[in-house]
Amino acid sequence: MSAVSAESAVPEAAEVVFAGRLPLAVRYAALLAGPGVERGLIGPREAGRLWQRHLLNCAVIGEVIAGDASVVDLGSGAGLPGVPLALARPELDITLLEPMARRVAWLNEVVSELDLRVQVVRGRAEDPAVRSSLGSVDVVVARAVAPLARLAGWALPLLAEGGTLVALKGETAADEVSRDDEAVRSVGGRAVRVHDCGEGIVDPLTRVVIVERGPAVARHDHAGARAVPASRRRRRS
């Protein structure tokens, strides 16, 4: 799928979501469909459904993220949902967090190619050094990373109190909330709820689980780590 064919397949909704940055979204779609498939970042069957299943599906979660929030895309992989979110909401302060070297290389290439104001960090959310370097952020987003209980255990320590985890979960959302609610609350989560994003933009809607971080929970696996309030986190130019 070339850049030309990617552009011809652009749905009208993409013009609404990406506005003046639509050409960058088209370029990203072409990167996913070409080098992304060749390098195993997405499956070959996904190339024909990039807009609805990936770019728009991810970008619409911006409706539950306020203002110029600091955001970590946990386990970013091919850049989903972080890159579409950065394209649709350029005012957000986004970090793509990914442990695998080959995916980090890809993400750096994408950020450079699209000239995005986005940081790429190699590491795992559970590593104390990563938690320390990222500070406490406003929002953690994640897609197809882990079951909700495990994901909350990784994501909530990255959040400032009152910050939110936004996990793209699709049809499993309600079942995961029912199954994992107690475990999520045991690591400091509260106000766990399911929300549908993208009314009038995507079909089916993008279903997310939103978890708010409550007061810090005492833990022994990162002894001595002190969170830096989001208000003190240094922003990039």
Nearest to 194 by CA among 216, 215, 175, 221: 175
Closest of 78, 199, 93, 45 to residue 144, by C-alpha: 78
Each residue of 144-185: pLDDT tens digit?
Answer: 899 999 999 999 999 999 999 999 998 999 999 999 999 999
- Would 236 be classed as within a structural domain? no
CATH number assigned to the domain comprising residue 147: 3.40.50.150
β-pair partners for 139:
71, 164
Domain assignment present for residue 227? The answer is no
Contact (Cβ atoms closer than 8 angstroms) between residue 81 and residue 107: no
Structural domain contains residue 136? yes
Domain of 205 in residue numbering reads as 58-219
Note whether residue 190 is domain-resident: yes
CA distance 163 to 140: 8
Structure confidence at residue 217 (pLDDT): 53
**How many domains, the chain?**
1
| Distance set, CA 219 to CA 28, 151, 175, 187, 216 (Å) | 40, 16, 27, 9, 9
- pTM, full prediction: 0.87
Whether residue 203 is contained in a domain is answered as yes
- Residue 81, preceding peptide bond in cis (omega within 30° of 0): yes
H or E stretch at 48 = none
**Residue 142 is assigned to a structural domain of this protein:** yes
Write out residues in the chain with pLDDT < 70, as ranges.
1-8, 216-237
How much is the CA Rg of the chain, to the nearest whole Å?
A: 17
Domain assignment of residue 231, yes or no: no
Reduce the DSSP state of residue 34 to 3 states and report it: helix
pLDDT, position 182: 95
Residue 90 lies in a domain: yes
